[in-house]
């Protein structure tokens, strides 16, 4: 049975994955499969797909999609699979920015951040960039498929980007060569989307120098960070005169998003009301209180 074989291979959520793979092979959706619970896993057609999954190929590359912020995004090898924790970045931008904003999603990958923002805030002007033409091709396909009017630009950091933005959101490569990834991520996902250089801080260091000139006065930079990077990232940006807010936590309580405003002078208008970051973090407290209640 597919579920048992996935379980033996120590794949988490083996039952869910078995259903998704069966639905993929049968060209039906999961609710249909659940409603027809006794349908056998399609042995012949399913075997190749099951073998691919057992060899470590990520589920999202087999299915060709991953859900992000409630929508389905196409993915394929060469493009990073969207991660659930990145939804915190989307949530942060939606909570902090005003109703009209010009937003850049730097390193857009599948386009999941830019497209989610544009669909949630149709009045925003959203530009998405990436150094990878392969990623941009997928992102454009996703924007077309989901009906999001996003402008895409191929660019190494800001080299091909003109104009000024109210906000930059980015989930940059932030893994250091000294913490090599294991398993299916290392084998199948694009290294250029994951590794920033020897320490993992290189992309943040470039951003801290170069984003200043691309943001409007009072503009805001929101970045996903790795689980031990909040403090070092804060140090890098504070040294160059950015105003650094308290980090936004993910639902596991990990400091996940850093928010920096472009202001060296407190007397100048700040685009962002810092109390909104506190409000965002209260949802984490409430979530965890809810979990604690469930456990007790
Ligand atoms: C961690 S992935 C994030 C992808 C997507 N935003 C997401 O959250 O799923 C980082 C992305 O940055 C892109 N990237 C790497 N170096 C870059 C550079 N110098 N300039 C622009 N984009 C870059 C990679 O191609 C990759 O798509």
Counting beta carbons within 10 angstroms of the beta carbon of residue 96, is it exposed (0 to 12), middle (13 to 18) or buried (19 or more)? Answer: buried
Nearest to 90 by CA among 120, 129, 60: 120
**Whether the model pTM is above 0.85:** yes
Per the structure, the count of domains in the chain is 2
Question: Are 172 and 235 contained in the same domain?
Answer: yes
Residue 68 lies in a domain: no
Question: Are 44 and 117 contained in the same domain?
Answer: no
Q: Write the DSSP symbol of residue 259.
A: E
Residue 64 lies in a domain: no
Closest ligand 1 atom, residue 194 Cα = 1
> What is d(CA 56, CA 51) in angstroms, rounded to the nearest whole number?
9
199-246 per-position pLDDT tens digit? 999 999 999 999 999 998 888 999 999 999 999 999 999 999 898 988
Residue 169 lies in a domain: yes
What is the pLDDT at residue 42? 65
Question: Are 161 and 277 contained in the same domain?
Answer: yes
What is the pLDDT at residue 57? 93
Residue 9 lies in a domain: yes
What is the pLDDT at residue 63? 95
Report the run of H or E that residue 68 belongs to, with start and end: strand 65-68
> What is d(CA 93, CA 219) in angstroms, rounded to the nearest whole number?
12
> What is d(CA 152, CA 164) in angstroms, rounded to the nearest whole number?
16
What is the pLDDT at residue 265? 54
Question: Are 36 and 168 contained in the same domain?
Answer: no
For residue 292, give every residue at least 6 positions away whose Cβ sits within 8 Å of its Cβ, in sequence order, or none. Answer: none
Instruction: State how far Cα 216 lies from the chain centre.
Output: 24
| Range of the structural domain that residue 26 is part of | 2-55
What is the pLDDT at residue 161? 95
Helical axes 112-120 vs 87-96, angle rounded to 10°: 40
Domain boundary among 13, 40, 55: 55
Distance 1 CA to ligand 1 centre (A): 38
Question: Are 145 and 99 contained in the same domain?
Answer: yes
Residue 75 lies in a domain: no
Place of tokens 């689980």: 227
DSSP β-bridge partners for residue 126: 103
Residue 66 lies in a domain: no
Residue 152 lies in a domain: yes
153-170 per-position pLDDT tens digit? 999 999 999 889 999 999
Pocket mutation for ligand 1, best pick of 107, 110, 223 (most atoms within 8 Å of C-beta):
107
DSSP codes, 126-166: EEEEES-HHHHHHHHHHHHHHT---EEEE-STTTT--S-EE
Question: Are 88 and 210 contained in the same domain?
Answer: yes
Give the pair of three-digit tokens for residue 53.
């999954």
Pocket mutation for ligand 1, best pick of 109, 171, 197, 211 (most atoms within 8 Å of C-beta):
109
Q: What is the mean pLDDT of each run of 10 residues along the chain (296 residues)?
A: 86 88 85 74 75 92 97 97 96 89 97 98 97 98 98 97 92 92 87 94 96 89 96 95 91 93 56 70 66 42
Q: Is 169 in the pocket of ligand 1 (CB under 6 A)?
A: no
Closest ligand 1 atom, residue 224 Cα = 8
Question: Are 84 and 45 contained in the same domain?
Answer: no
Q: Is 80 in the pocket of ligand 1 (CB under 6 A)?
A: yes
What is the pLDDT at residue 274? 63
Nearest to 214 by CA among 259, 178, 169: 169
Are residues 128 and 152 in contact, defined by beta-carbon separation less than 8 angstroms?
A: yes
Phi and psi at 95, nearest 5°, equal -80, -35
What is the pLDDT at residue 292? 47
Closest ligand 1 atom, residue 107 Cα = 12
Question: Are 42 and 118 contained in the same domain?
Answer: no
5-24 per-position pLDDT tens digit? 888 888 888 888 888 988 88
Question: Are 117 and 260 contained in the same domain?
Answer: yes
Pocket mutation for ligand 1, best pick of 173, 197, 250 (most atoms within 8 Å of C-beta):
173
Residue 167 lies in a domain: yes
Give the pair of three-digit tokens for residue 236.
């890098």
> What is d(CA 105, CA 123) in angstroms, rounded to the nearest whole number?
16
Q: What is the CATH number of the domain that holds 200?
A: 3.40.50.150
Question: Are 146 and 262 contained in the same domain?
Answer: yes
**CB neighbourhood size of 61 (10 A):** 20
Q: Is 117 in the pocket of ligand 1 (CB under 6 A)?
A: no
∠ CA 220-226-229 to the nearest 5 degrees?
A: 75
What is the pLDDT at residue 211? 95
Question: Are 25 and 140 contained in the same domain?
Answer: no
Q: Is 154 in the pocket of ligand 1 (CB under 6 A)?
A: no
Question: Are 22 and 168 contained in the same domain?
Answer: no
Place of tokens 């039906």: 28
């Amino acid at each position: 049975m597919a579920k048992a074989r996935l379980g033996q291979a120590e794949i988490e959520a083996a039952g869910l994955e078995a259903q998704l793979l069966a639905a993929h092979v049968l060209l039906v959706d999961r609710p249909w499969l659940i409603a027809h619970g006794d349908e056998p896993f399609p042995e012949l057609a399913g075997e190749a797909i099951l073998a691919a999954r057992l060899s470590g190929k990520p589920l999202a590359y087999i299915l060709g999609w991953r859900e992000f912020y409630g929508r389905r995004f196409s993915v394929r090898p060469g493009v990073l699979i969207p991660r659930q924790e990145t939804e915190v970045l989307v949530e942060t931008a939606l909570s902090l920015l005003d109703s009209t904003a010009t937003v850049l999603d730097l390193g857009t990958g599948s386009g999941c951040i830019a497209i989610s923002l544009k669909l949630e805030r149709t009045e925003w002007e959203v530009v998405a960039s990436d150094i990878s033409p392969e990623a941009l091709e997928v992102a454009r396909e996703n924007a077309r498929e989901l009906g999001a009017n996003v402008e895409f630009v191929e660019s190494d950091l800001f080299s091909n980007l003109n104009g000024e933005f109210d906000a930059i959101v980015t989930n940059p490569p932030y893994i250091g060569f000294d913490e090599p990834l294991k398993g299916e991520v290392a084998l199948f996902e694009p290294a250029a989307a994951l590794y920033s250089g020897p320490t993992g801080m290189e992309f943040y260091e470039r951003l801290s120098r170069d984003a200043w000139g691309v943001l409007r006065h009072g503009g805001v930079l929101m970045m996903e960070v790795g689980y031990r990077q909040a403090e070092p990232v804060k140090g890098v940006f504070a040294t160059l005169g950015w105003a650094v807010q308290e980090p936004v936590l993910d639902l596991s309580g990990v400091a996940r998003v850093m928010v920096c405003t472009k202001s060296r002078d407190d007397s100048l208008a700040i685009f962002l009301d810092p109390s909104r970051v506190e409000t965002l973090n209260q949802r984490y407290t409430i979530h965890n209180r809810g979990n604690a209640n469930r456990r007790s």
